[in-house]
Amino acid sequence: MDEPSKSRFQGLKSLRRIAFQRSGQNGQPTPSPRESSEDPGAAEVPEPESRSSRARALDVLRSPGTAMVAALVVFALVSALVTGRLGGALAGGRLLPTADLATTWGDYLNAWHAVSGGTGSPASPSLAVLALLGSVLGGPSVVVGALLLFGVPLAGLSTYLAARALDVTPLRRALVAGAYALLPVAAISAGQGRLDVVVVHVLVPPLLAGIAAVIRRSDGQWLGTACLTAFGLAVLGAFAPLVQLALIVLALLAHVLVPGNGLRGRRRAAGLVALVLLSVACLLPWPVQLLNHPEVLVHGLGARTAEQPASVLLATLSPDGSLPSALGALLVLAAILALAICFDVRMLAGAGVALLGWLVAVVIGTVSVEPLTGGVASPGWTGGPLVLVAAGCAWIVLVAKMPSLSWKITAPVLAAGLLALGAASAIGTASGPLQVHQAAPATGTRLVLEAGPQPARLVTGEGPRFGDDDLAPAGSAADWLRQVDEDLSSDDSARVRRALAAVAARGADHVIVPANSQLPELAYDMVVDDGRLTGPSRELRLLVPATPVKLVGPDLARQAQTEPGPAPEARPLPVGAEPPSFTVRISEGGAGRALVIGAENEPGWYAEVNGKRVPLATAWGHQVAVPLPEQAAEVQVGYTELPRTTLLVVQAAVVLFTVIAAIPGRRRALTALR
């Protein structure tokens, strides 16, 4: 190429470059991507991104939501310091002491539990939630303490974030979220150790937002939204199955009432199916327990207690009729004023949530059923459904198009309302029996006669712990404990002696009775008072052999087949073993002898003698007995864990699928691929 042609070609390239640069400055379409080999760093502009991140961070710090959460954290810290509940494991009221991480995992994974005479009932999935969170946060007791002490700021933060989908100013979101966080019924429940109500208080707002998103979402992210909401429902159901059921009913009603056709309708139906099925499957095998024992829905989880029937003060969000809890009526009044002054169709969703919550509260507050572990029939605590009512009222106030009012009028009213709610919450929290737990030394297995209408309790080790009262007793264990309680409280020496022999056959070596009990005088040759006091009670040591595994001779074995309990003079041979799984070597002896385990004879027990499976028998009406041969033998006893392990594998697979499908990054990647 000659020089003139080459210079003209370079000139055309320069003109074209200048034209492209000017078109880019004028906002005209340009080829993309634009990369220049002359200046590789020209396409990177890190400083505007950095300034944008700093600006967003400053906006968050200056937002009303941050101020609201900070104020609630200070409120929670002051309450915890005033009540002396900061700095230790909490227990009291309906909250039993929480075990360490390894014990909590074991309580959830084990197929058999040494509670109420032994039971193969599935453990509550709340243990799995506490164990998972405790593995990261420092133990289950830390998780429980954080929820009970800082449930107020957690509820305020979750409500503020859940309301982002609504066309509402940040200031109104912060005010409504703060009012909801200071709900007196939630604070009273926290002071009484009702962990289920605290979890409901924190999770209900984001779950309502998730259900609303499933109903209205029709884009490619419907599965991720449904899975995320289902996982939250499963966590809620692990602590409050009744509220989980109420939210599932709300989702189904919304699907029926809100129109949806074509692709949107099909995706909504698929999302609801995923939401319902996954939220239930994540809790396996706990839903089977709820079907067999629906009384758990009424009484909820936690230590057994007798509740008082509800009153008309449920309309004021008061579960117990106290004055501090009645101040929850301020939220109800705000919702009623919003409906009356500026009604909008969008308020109907919140009104439906509130009405369903009231309906559930009336039902469980008036229907009396016997608790899972036995005792006097009583209604349930209405705290969880009333929190649902409060969430519906907050929804109404959020979507209301309020008329323009002078801040000189509204500011004092809002401040007075928030101060009243804060004072009621502080009083309600401080008045509860929740306190720092002082662990007692383990003293083997003991029978505890509790004051009040509750039946006796069999305690192993340090005492009952979180989750024990959520296990269904096997067979006739609850009736046996009730009968033993009545016998030991009587003035008949023969009844007392027979009851003590039955207690020893269960493996209990101590009995804790009220301080004024006449039991030591009625059975002076079977118990001895060591002078140990346990609060208002005293601890007695049994003088008869008391081990969970014992060898009975032929004559005593024949009596065990026909008698409801051992005679006071019976002296079986103690065996050094602990159920449910053990192996012992038995020497030769008489025909007809048996090995008796102090546990309820329920499906799942098996025994092998010299490697061969043998049929089991029943001793004293309800205990496991293994017939033994005359010659020496090796006996292996156990409780099968195959069904429990299978269900746990299915549960783990469902949880893993739900979590992976709910990850936001994965949803964006799938959308990009489409």
Beta-sheet pairing, 445-448 with 510-514: parallel
Q: Residue 421: pLDDT above 80? A: yes
The 10s digit of each residue's pLDDT in 87-102 is 888 999 999 999 999 9
The 10s digit of each residue's pLDDT in 52-71 is 666 777 777 778 889 999 99
Residue given tokens 């209405």 in the structure block: 382
Residue given tokens 């009526």 in the structure block: 329
SS3 of 626, please?
strand
Looking at per-residue pLDDT, the higher value among 265 and 357 belongs to 357
Q: Residue 672: pLDDT above 50? A: no
Cβ contacts of residue 632 below 8 Å, gap of 6+?
585, 586, 587, 588
- Region 621-627: mean pLDDT is 90
Q: Which of 255, 236, 256 is nearest to 246 (CA)?
A: 236
Q: Residue 473: pLDDT above 50? A: yes
Q: What is the spatial distance between Cα 277 and Cα 269, in angstroms, rounded to a whole number?
A: 12
Q: Which of 592, 629, 593, 443 is nearest to 532 (CA)?
A: 443
Q: Are 183 and 74 in contact (CB under 8 A)?
A: no
Angle at which helices 64-83 and 407-430 pack, to 10 degrees? 30
Q: What is the spatial distance between Cα 123 and Cα 590, in angstroms, rounded to a whole number?
A: 41
Q: Are 332 and 317 in contact (CB under 8 A)?
A: yes
- Region 516-526: mean pLDDT is 85
Looking at per-residue pLDDT, the higher value among 264 and 104 belongs to 104
Find the helix or strand (DSSP H, E) in which 166 lies: none
Q: Residue 222: pLDDT above 50? A: yes
Q: Which of 534, 360, 458, 572 is nearest to 114 (CA)?
A: 458
Strand-pairing partners, residue 600, are: 623
The pTM of the full predicted model, rounded to 2 decimals, is 0.87
Evaluated on CA atoms 558, 560, 564, 565, the torsion sign reads positive
- Region 508-523: mean pLDDT is 85
Position 219 confidence tier, pLDDT thresholds 50, 70, 90: low
For residue 356, give both structure tokens. 């369903």
Q: What is the pLDDT of residue 353?
A: 95
Helix locations, 182-317, DSSP H: 184-191, 195-216, 222-239, 241-257, 262-281, 286-292, 295-299
- Region 669-674: mean pLDDT is 34
Q: Residue 411: pLDDT above 90? A: no
Q: What is the pLDDT of residue 161?
A: 94
Strands (E) across 259-394 are located at none
Q: What is the pLDDT of residue 624?
A: 93
Q: Are 325 and 188 in contact (CB under 8 A)?
A: yes
Residue given tokens 């401080």 in the structure block: 430
Position 419 confidence tier, pLDDT thresholds 50, 70, 90: very high
- Region 600-627: mean pLDDT is 92
Position 7 confidence tier, pLDDT thresholds 50, 70, 90: very low
Residue 287 burial (CB < 10 Å; 0-12/13-18/19+)? Answer: middle
Angle in degrees, CA 27, 32, 35, rounded to 5: 105
Q: Which of 556, 568, 569 is nearest to 623 (CA)?
A: 556
Strand-pairing partners, residue 523, are: none
Q: What is the spatial distance between Cα 592 and Cα 553, in angstroms, rounded to a whole number?
A: 7
SS3 of 449, please?
coil
Q: What is the pLDDT of residue 616?
A: 93
Beta-sheet pairing, 435-436 with 445-448: unpaired
The 10s digit of each residue's pLDDT in 340-366 is 988 888 899 999 999 999 999 999 999
> Which of 17-31, 136-150, 444-458 tops mean pLDDT?
136-150
- Region 598-620: mean pLDDT is 92
- Comparing 11-20, 355-364, 510-519, 554-563, the range with the smallest average pLDDT is 11-20
The 10s digit of each residue's pLDDT in 116-164 is 888 999 999 999 999 999 999 999 999 999 999 999 999 999 999 999 9
Q: What is the pLDDT of residue 259?
A: 77
Q: Residue 517: pLDDT above 90? A: no
- Comparing 58-67, 234-243, 654-663, the range with the smallest average pLDDT is 58-67
Cβ contacts of residue 136 below 8 Å, gap of 6+?
none
Position 479 confidence tier, pLDDT thresholds 50, 70, 90: confident
Strand-pairing partners, residue 231, are: none
**Average model confidence (pLDDT) for the chain?**
85
Cβ neighbours around 252 below 10 Å, total: 14
Q: What is the spatial distance between Cα 332 and Cα 315, in angstroms, rounded to a whole number?
A: 8
Q: What is the pLDDT of residue 455?
A: 80
User: What are the b/e assignments for 114-142, b being 16+ CB within 10 Å?
Assistant: bbbbbbbbbbbbbbbbbbbbbeeeebbbb
For residue 652, give both structure tokens. 């783990």
Position 21 confidence tier, pLDDT thresholds 50, 70, 90: very low
- Measure Cα distances from 564 to 457, 619, 623 in Å: 20, 8, 10
Q: What is the pLDDT of residue 37?
A: 37
Percent of the chain with pLDDT over 90: 49
SS3 of 462, please?
coil
- Comparing 38-42, 90-94, 444-448, 556-560, the range with the smallest average pLDDT is 38-42
Q: What is the pLDDT of residue 335?
A: 94
Angle in degrees, CA 214, 216, 220, rounded to 5: 70
Helix locations, 431-471, DSSP H: none
